[in-house]
């Protein structure tokens, strides 16, 4: 069993780490406080290849594998989870959806612009009344006399919604038949009938813009149907498998940042004349933090490897992705909680990044499938029962 990384994987990890430390980390707290989108950094990340790591070079991407992507997300997330959220949506949800299900024209037109950082992508599945029950969506797409699609409805909690140029959207094209009536579309937000609502005031990942979007007689050109009509739900679920690897990687980055800050604090902070790291209660917490972090990291890399193998040989990787996302997100929440506790009052202060890590970690247990949904996915795969 070989746990070493390739030169390409180490290269993108190094690029991401250098950019994270020099450009992302110094402004993370300020952007979080102002809930300001890091547009300049995102454009630079596009130029570095970080916004389309698995996209082939012919479409403007870095042409690397899922492990390289996971390593890069971990580095960015360790500096700022909000920036890694934008990165994850671009890579895992938008580009991946079009690469897997789009035609050549769609790849050239939509993936290239996102890959190079010229534009930002988004993914619109959730609605105000349908989160985990994605098949219960209300957004409708009906053909007009020209064969184009007229779309009406609302989507909620859309990451990068206020700034996205292109969006992968899911809507009911054939009512009354549930998931089999869902189709996928590529939306150009500059066409009439699209409206982005106000940005959501979130607990964490505040520098990533999130909003509700609305379609009012929006005409989507027929050539922007993604994949086959009626296959949208299967497209959405397959893309979310890849997205969960991105969120697991994000959670590992948050957890690692909280853990490393705690190690430093335990060595430097003294109580009763001794570093607090010499106290058995602190040592116990650190040992558990280390074990959870290592488990989350290895499971995330296993899921990324499984995705790469599935792409080469066929097969699925959904269970591995769900396991990684569940373990990593809950590890991030637990580790950041313990980090705040060990830091005491300073952990609760905005003078240090621990409280931001704690706030940011929570969302990893919710989006792209809650922890409860991950448990259902895993159990159903294991038992074969639904």
Could you give the residue numbers annotated as active site? 368
Give DSSP secondary structure letters for 280-319: HHHHHHHHHHHHHHHHHHHHHHHHHHHHHHHHHH----HH
Q: Give the total residue count for the chain.
A: 386
Strands 121-124 and 166-172: parallel
CA distance 192 to 194: 6
CA distance 139 to 160: 19
Q: What is the CA radius of gyration of the chain?
A: 21
CA distance 272 to 276: 9
Identify the CA nearest to 276 among candidates 213, 222, 355, 344: 344
* 223 DSSP assignment: G
Q: At what angle do helices 81-88 and 354-363 cross, to 10 degrees?
A: 30
Displacement of CA 184 from its chain's centroid (Å): 19
Give the number of C-alpha atoms closer than 13 A to the C-alpha of residue 329, restricted to the C-beta side.
25
CB atoms within 10 A of CB 293: 21
* 24 DSSP assignment: I
């Amino acid at each position: 069993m070989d746990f070493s990384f390739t030169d390409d994987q180490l290269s993108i990890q190094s690029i991401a780490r250098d950019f994270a430390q020099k450009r992302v980390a110094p402004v993370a707290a300020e952007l979080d406080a102002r809930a300001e989108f890091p547009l300049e950094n995102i454009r630079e990340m596009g130029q570095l290849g970080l916004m389309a790591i698995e996209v082939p070079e012919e479409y403007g991407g870095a042409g690397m594998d899922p492990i390289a992507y996971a390593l890069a997300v971990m580095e960015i997330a360790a500096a700022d989870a909000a920036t890694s959220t934008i990165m994850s949506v671009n890579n895992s949800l938008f580009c991946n959806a079009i690469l897997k299900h789009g035609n050549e024209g769609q790849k050239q037109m939509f993936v290239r612009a996102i890959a190079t950082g010229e534009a930002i992508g988004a993914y619109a599945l959730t609605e105000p009344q349908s989160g985990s029950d994605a098949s219960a969506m209300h957004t409708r797409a009906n053909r007009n006399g020209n064969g184009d699609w007229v779309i009406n409805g609302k989507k909620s909690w859309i990451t990068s919604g206020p700034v996205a140029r292109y969006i992968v959207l899911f809507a009911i094209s054939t009512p009354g038949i549930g998931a089999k009536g869902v189709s996928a579309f590529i939306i150009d937000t500059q066409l009439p009938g699209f409206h982005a609502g106000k940005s959501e005031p979130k607990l964490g990942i505040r520098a990533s813009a999130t909003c509700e979007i609305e379609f009012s007689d929006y005409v989507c050109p027929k050539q922007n149907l993604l994949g086959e009509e009626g296959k949208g739900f299967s497209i959405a679920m397959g893309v979310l498998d890849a997205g969960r690897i991105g969120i697991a990687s994000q959670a590992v980055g948050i957890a690692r940042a909280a853990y490393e800050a705690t190690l430093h604090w335990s060595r430097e902070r003294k109580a009763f004349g001794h570093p607090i790291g010499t106290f058995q209660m602190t040592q116990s917490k650190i040992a558990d933090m280390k074990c959870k972090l290592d488990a989350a990291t290895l499971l995330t890399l296993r899921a990324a490897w499984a995705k790469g193998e599935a792409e080469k040989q066929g097969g699925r990787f959904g269970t591995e992705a769900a396991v990684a996302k569940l373990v990593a997100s809950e590890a991030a929440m637990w580790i950041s909680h313990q980090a705040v506790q060990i830091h005491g009052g300073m952990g609760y202060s905005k003078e240090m990044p621990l409280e931001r890590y704690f706030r940011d970690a929570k969302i990893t247990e919710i989006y792209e499938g809650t922890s409860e949904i991950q448990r259902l996915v895993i159990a159903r795969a294991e038992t074969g029962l639904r």
